[in-house]
Amino acid sequence: MCRGSEVLVVGGGNSAGQAAMFLSEQTRRVFLLLRSGDLQKGMSSYLAQRVESKENIEVLPHTEIRRMLGDQQLEAVEVENTQTGEVRTVATTAVFTFIGAIPRTDWLPAEIETSARGFVLTGPEVAGSPRWSAGRAPFLLETSRAGVFAAGDVRVGSINRVASAVGEGAMAIKFIHEYLAGFLAAGENGEAQW
């Protein structure tokens, strides 16, 4: 859709860096907008180096979008350098934003505690929670509802990597086995505590 044109990528993390590299292969120029002044601050250094050495990627530090202009479709974006106050209009038909993910957890019942941003609390984070009612310490990936586990990006403090999400998934299975063994051993009278 934007082959041969100039595009904007917003964000300073690895997702934005990967997107900028990918888009630079097909487009004439990629403007990478950073709120901070340093690409290495939020991006792996190997990726930041690749971005910086790519001829058709222009990194715009301390820059935020102010207005998006166009009639039937996007035609230009007004950006401002927050340090100098300089406003610049970039002609573009496409903007890609990589400024953080919102977890789809609003359907979770209240007994499963989430952070203000909607990420699920697990393990030691729920040990002191008023929602934690079992008479034991929670397993590492257990939510505030005993017997319900969370793995991957949806957790507070996740490492946000494929390998860690897969590893946590495997760990959660192990904890579920332990949970079930304890639950069965607790018997009828101990169920409420377990």
Ligand X SMILES: Cc1cc2nc3c(=O)[nH]c(=O)nc-3n(C[C@H](O)[C@H](O)[C@H](O)COP(=O)(O)OP(=O)(O)OC[C@H]3O[C@@H](n4cnc5c(N)ncnc54)[C@H](O)[C@@H]3O)c2cc1C
Site residues, ligand X (CB under 6 A): 14-15, 18, 104, 152-154, 160-163, 165
Q: Give the single-character DSSP code of 161.
A: -
Q: Is 81 helix (H, G, I), strand (E, B) or coil?
A: strand
Phi-psi region of 67 (alpha: psi -120 to 50; beta: other; left: phi over 0): beta
Looking at beta carbons only, is 115 or 160 nearer to ligand X?
160
Looking at beta carbons only, is 18 or 93 nearer to ligand X?
18
Cβ 126 vs Cβ 144: under 8 Å:
yes
Please identify the residue of the shown chain whose CB is closest to the bound ligand X: 152
CB-based contacts of 39, cutoff 8 Å, min separation 6: 12, 17, 32, 48, 51, 52, 59, 61
Looking at beta carbons only, is 87 or 173 nearer to ligand X?
173
Looking at beta carbons only, is 67 or 161 nearer to ligand X?
161
Cβ 139 vs Cβ 103: under 8 Å:
no
Shortest approach of ligand X to residue 174 CB, angstroms?
Answer: 17
Shortest approach of ligand X to residue 101 CB, angstroms?
Answer: 7
Shortest approach of ligand X to residue 171 CB, angstroms?
Answer: 13
Looking at beta carbons only, is 148 or 186 nearer to ligand X?
148
Shortest approach of ligand X to residue 103 CB, angstroms?
Answer: 8
CA 52 to CA 174: how far, in whole Å?
43
Shortest approach of ligand X to residue 105 CB, angstroms?
Answer: 8
